[in-house]
Amino acid sequence: MAKYLSDEFFSQVLTALTQDAKWTESTKNLKTSVALNVTDIGQNYLLGVDNGTTTLQKAAAGTTAEFTFEGTYEAWCRIGKGEVDLQSAVLKGQMKFKGSLVKILSLRDKLNRVAEVMKEVPKEF
């Protein structure tokens, strides 16, 4: 079982997304990037979507993305355990968001699938 938010964990998330026909179909006409930053342990990952092709890789701090979600390991754990969803965490000030609110809201259903997969992948906290 992978440690939550580790390289192994994100590798499993990527595998799950690329094998998910619904995800691939829903992202066929989408090009975006999302930075997922764990501020207190310095873990930064970049999710890239380019017309149905998904990448997820370790990134340097400050990597530019269309959207960025930043939070502490504890905040990310709440999301991973299903205690709070990403949108609620942002609205409650537990996570920071950078990017266009209008555009991210239009992509909410697609990007919620990433959070669902992150909850589904077996992990230890």
pTM of the predicted model, to two decimals?
Answer: 0.92
Tell me the CATH number at 95: 3.30.1050.10
Does residue 16 carry a pLDDT above 90?
Answer: yes
Band (pLDDT 50/70/90 cuts) for residue 96 is very high
Query: Is residue 125 in some structural domain?
Result: no
pLDDT of residue 37: 97
DSSP letters, 15-56, are HHHHT-HHHHHHTTT-EEEEEEEETTTTEEEEEEEETTEEEE
* Total domains present in the chain: 1
Query: Is residue 75 in some structural domain?
Result: yes
What would the pLDDT profile of 39-90 be if each residue is shown by its tens digit?
Answer: 999 999 999 999 999 999 999 988 999 999 999 999 999 999 989 988 899 9
